[in-house]
Structure formats: C-alpha cells, structure tokens
Chains A and B, each alone.
Chain A
Amino acid sequence: MQSPKPEFTDLQYRFAGTIRDPEHVATLEDVEERRMKIYRELFYNNVAGFVNSGFPVLKSLCDETYWQQLIRDF
C-alpha cells in the first residue's frame, strides 16, 4: 500500500514542510498566504507552549531571539 506514493502525499509533505521551514519551502500554489500563516503560528505556538512550560528556567536564562530560534529548530 505504501508504494508507489500517491500524489496527495506529495502535497502533504510540502504542506508540512512549509509549516516547519517557511524560509525554504514555499506555500502551495492554491493556498492563501494568510491562511498558511495561521498554520505556522498555531504550530509554532503549540510547540513553544510545551517547551516553555517544560523549561521555564532555561528560557529565563536565554535571550528571546535565541530561544525562538531553538524552538523553530525543534
């Protein structure tokens, strides 16, 4: 069932890819940029939420930009 990969899975990889790494993976042609922005923010804030609450002390010791970069890398 896994091979060959159906066509829609390519869209799925690109959709997830542009959430994860917007600088290198472009938004799909049929998706509005402001809608993609919602996904990027939802997913970022979700991960930031559980990382922040798991590492409050480490967060307080780090510079804000550096911390955001760490979360983005995660």
Chain B
Amino acid sequence: MSMQAAEAHAVTAQDEKKERADKIDFKMVTFSLGGKEYGIDIMNVKEIAHAGRFTYVPNAAPFVRGVYNLRGDIISIIDLRVMFHLPAERKDDSSLESLLILRIGDHVFGVIVDNIDKVVGVASTSIQPPHPIFGDINVKYIKGIIENRGKLYIILNVEKLFTPDKQDEDVDQRPAASLSSSRSAAPLRYEDAPSPGRASSSSGQADINADFIKETLAGFKKFGFSPINEPWFNARYSAWRKSKKENEIQLRSESDADEFLESFYSACTGSLWSDEYAAAVMKALPPIASRSINVWNPGCGKGYESYSLACMLKEAYPEARIKIWANDSDLLAISMAPNMVFEFEDLPERYREFMVKGRNGWTFAQGIRDSIFFEFHDVLNANPLPPLDLILCRDTLSFLSGHDQKRLLVDFNEKAKDGAALILGVNELMPLDGWVSVGPADVSAYVKASR
C-alpha cells in the first residue's frame, strides 16, 4: 500500500468514525444469554463484576439466586437465564458468575448472565422496535433490537423488568401472557367426546347398566367418568359383565364399587415407589434442563409418591433445586405427610440413602423434606404456582366431577412450561390437544409440545 493510499484510508476511517461519533447517543453493555446477544442501557449499569457464593434465600422466586454483599451493600442476585427459562450451564458453588450490577431508581440488583462482552455505542434512531414473534423473552421486556458490526443485539428494558412496584405483577403476568395463546391452541377434546349416555356399547340394556354403574361409582367413590378414563371403564365394564351374573352386574354397595375400581389404581399407590416403577417413570420423563425443577403433585394423599418422586429427581438431578408442591384436600391423610416415619426393614433399598434415624424411626433427610411443600389445599380453588416442569397427578382427576376435571386440566395446561411433563394414573389419558404421549405402557406420561 502506498503512502497516499494509507493516508486516504486513515482519513476516511477518521471521517467515518467522526460521523458515527456524532450519531452515537446510546451506549449499551452487551452480553450473552443462552447463546444470543443482548444489551442493556449503560445508564442502568452501575458496574460489572464476577462473584459467586451467593447467600441462598429460602422461598424466594426461582430466578432469585440469593443475596450478595457488594462492598457492604446487600444486593439481590437475579439469574436472567432462569427468569427467561433459557438454558444455563451449571457451575459449582465456588466458581464465579458474570454479574451486571444494575441501578434502577433507588434499587441496586445483580443479574447473572453467561458472558459480558463489551460496551457498544449506537445511534438511538437505529434501534428497531421489537417484533411480536420474539420467542424467548416476552416482548414487553424488550426495548428494541439493533444491528452492530454484523451482530444483532436485543436491548432489554430493565426498568420494566425490575421496577419493584411492578415486579410481582410482572412475574404473575409472564405465564399469563403466554397462556392466552396456549389456551386457544389447546381446545378441550371434551366437547367432541361422546357424552356418558352415548358411550359405545352394543345393546340398549348394556347402556343402561353401564350408565347405572357410572352413576353408582360417582355416588359411592366420587369417580367421574370422562374421556380421561373412558377406555379403562369400557374395558373394565365388559370384563365385569363377563365375570358377574346378570343380576349382580350393578354395584349395590361401596365394597362393590371398590371391587370394580380395584384394577384402576396405579402401581405403588399408598407406598413408596418400587425400583421398577421409579425406573419406568424416570424413563418416561424428558430430560429437564432447568436448574430449578418445579413440580406440582395434586392429590398426593399420604405423601408417599411425593417422597418417591423427590428421591428420584434428587438422584437424577443432584445439582438442581427441586421444589415439589404436594396438595391434598384430605386433612387427615396429608397432616401425617411432613413427618412420615418408617421402619428400616420396610424400606425399599433405594430410599435408604435418603433417610436419617430419628427418635421414632427412620425419616427422610432434611434435604428431601425441604424440597416438598405439603399443603392442605383444594385444587379446585386458586392454585398459585410458578411455571412447572413436571405435574404428577395419578388417579386424582378421575375422582373429580367432569366439570372440575376440565378446569384442572386447563390449569395444568396454563401452569406447565413448554416441554413440561405430566404423569397421570396408569389408566388415565390426557384429553387435551398439545400434549404428546411418551414413555412406557406402565406409566401414563405426556409432554407439552412447544408452540
């Protein structure tokens, strides 16, 4: 390159730089989250830091990693990746995380991101408004999008994300915002299903008998015939008819109803899960990427399945924070659950490592017990739960009325994250669209399809 050319080049570069400097009126700190580039207005960024060993705050929202002492100021640490349900690499407790310390109004927060890149200056006029199809992060938290040197940056609106007065509301709204679409995307198949009166049977007499049994089951055992359990009922009914004399078909007492329902219940009801059953459930579950696993276990009864599940998840995801909300509306059953005591000999081998010896016998270790919230709660009332990774609801839906089953299923659909798993009783089917059946035959498992 000749001197002149080099000079000319330098001049144009300088001009260009000058021109750009004229226009630059917006500076942002750029960083990556789940492999994508994001930016935050530098005026909101107090500093950047590397830190670890945050103090865990019990019962905080899943995306709150804890608090941190920043030179004497206690600040809350929020994991943006968890907040936005993005994949986050797991680090052990001692390693340091990349932190952006943000100042919004009078509040100082630390947010954890994957990598902090650099400061980029741009012209605010070139910021494009967010497009509604942006997937990972709700549009209302996006200020805009900008291109800089061949890279696209999504600029987050941190004021909206972290304004304390609105924070709670926003947290509540985030699942709600995604709901409205999912609700319409998953119409209930109930509407098309044959009504109980028109259940498929050959003769009119059989219809009447079957209807009678449905009624008596509802009366004695609160069993609600619906598309959830229709195939089981039909199979069971024809077997029942074969095994009984003509005048013994109908259920006359509660014990008849119990006999009829004998084959309905899932494996390991009222006891800890056996190795085989736990393995089958584990096989049915899709891998869970999230660091904090939220599980809802409505109708947990005495709590055996909640403990079994907690141990199974602990084994599979030792690093994850597991939270199980276990509800039952039977006060007597659930009030024993938090302090369940076992004889060592009665314990299946797999649970022994999770137990400690107490005064009255063997109980589950604190770590397992802390991961389960046993609640006296009626699922037909409001269910205030965060977005869920797994719903375990075995043989509970079938004991609600058809109307209540629908309500609860809609609630499942609303609360489940995309890709979340649902486990029903072995003889129950998921009638909602948008859920894909997975896993072996002895576990009725479904995965919510991503939209």
Q: Do A and B come from one complex?
A: no
Residues of A within 8 A of B (CB): none
